[in-house]
Amino acid sequence: MNEFLLEAETISNEFEHFLNSSFDQQDIKTLTFLFDRSQKALKKLKVSTFLIDSLTNRLKEEFNENLGVKITGAGGGGCLLLVHNELVTEEHLIRLLSNFDVKLYYNVKIN
């Protein structure tokens, strides 16, 4: 548990630093890395589910470093946050996620 708390604090500090700096489209890789790192820590804490892990794995297989994904909520799934660059389209996400029993709410942009 202490290992998780240390990792969570490190990730949180890096997110805070990222958000306080001037955002550039090139920085999307930093953000995707932080999302993925956060998801891995949450999976170790066992707040993820088989469905979440399956979705995360499939998304990462398809988009690799072009997309970051992490679970959010009160534990046990419910919502995934995705961050991606312009190479990932809404149509592509819809097609990919159609194999799962999930809904896609999309199109929050950071400029």
Q: Note the pLDDT tens digit of each residue in 59-95.
A: 899 998 888 988 887 655 578 888 888 888 888 888 8
Nearest CA among 91, 67, 89, 92 for reference residue 80: 67
- Among left, alpha and beta (phi > 0; psi -120 to 50; other), residue 38 is alpha
Summarize the confidence of residues 53-63 as an average pLDDT.
90
Place of tokens 């072009």: 66
Is the pLDDT reported for residue 31 higher than 60?
yes
Summarize the confidence of residues 36-54 as an average pLDDT.
86
pTM, two decimal places: 0.74
Q: What is the pLDDT of residues 7-28, one digit of tens each?
A: 888 888 887 887 777 666 557 8
In sequence order, what DSSP letters do the residues of the chain get, joined into one string?
A: -HHHHHHHHHHHHHHHHHHHSPP-GGGHHHHHHHHHHHHHHHHHTT---HHHHHHHHHHHHHHGGGEEEEEESSSS-SEEEEEE-TTS-HHHHHHHHTTSS----------
What pLDDT sits at residue 32? Answer: 87
